[in-house]
Amino acid sequence: MGIKNFIMNGSLSVFIFGEYSEILASAIDDASDYFLKENIRITDTPRHADILLVIPPVANKNAKILRMFYDEMLSPKYVICADLNQCREKYRSYALIKDLRQIIPVNTECQIDSQTGKKNLINAFARIKEMIRNDG
């Protein structure tokens, strides 16, 4: 897999970390045509992923696991964080990571809600693809 795949045939693999909510599932379903057209697929393992999609809230006890998954990804690697600002305001607990940037670098953010989830998710992937083209 990896970035070599993107250069050769334009495919990208995504590993999802976090709570798989109904809103996220709906956004991914709605964006499935875009994923097929752009050759983006969801993978079961971070070793095969080019993009890490993190869905907050992330508990402090999962910080090491998140970092381990990020480290298992081949370079270059990209991170999309969903609902970052909304999650900070909604969940206020000592048991949750306040800022994911303390654990892993975040390349782009997107807010996934029931109205604009598909559009924001597609825009986040488009920004990552643009970053890859500019880096490569």
Residue 91 has what pLDDT? 63
Domains parsed from the chain with CATH numbers: 3-135 (3.40.50.12280)
How do residues 37-73 score in pLDDT, each as one tens digit?
Answer: 989 999 999 999 999 999 888 889 999 999 999 999 9
How do residues 78-130 score in pLDDT, each as one tens digit?
Answer: 999 987 445 555 666 778 887 888 999 999 988 887 788 889 999 999 999 89
- The sign of the torsion formed by the CA atoms of 106, 119, 48, 134 equals negative
Residue 70 has what pLDDT? 97
CA atoms of 32 and 7, how far apart (whole Å): 22
Query: Please, which pLDDT band fits residue 7 given cuts at 50, 70 and 90?
Result: very low
Residue 89 has what pLDDT? 58
CA atoms of 79 and 74, how far apart (whole Å): 12
Residue 44 has what pLDDT? 92
Residue 55's contacts (CB-CB under 8 Å, 6 or more residues apart) are 16, 17, 18, 19, 20, 21, 24, 82, 83, 112
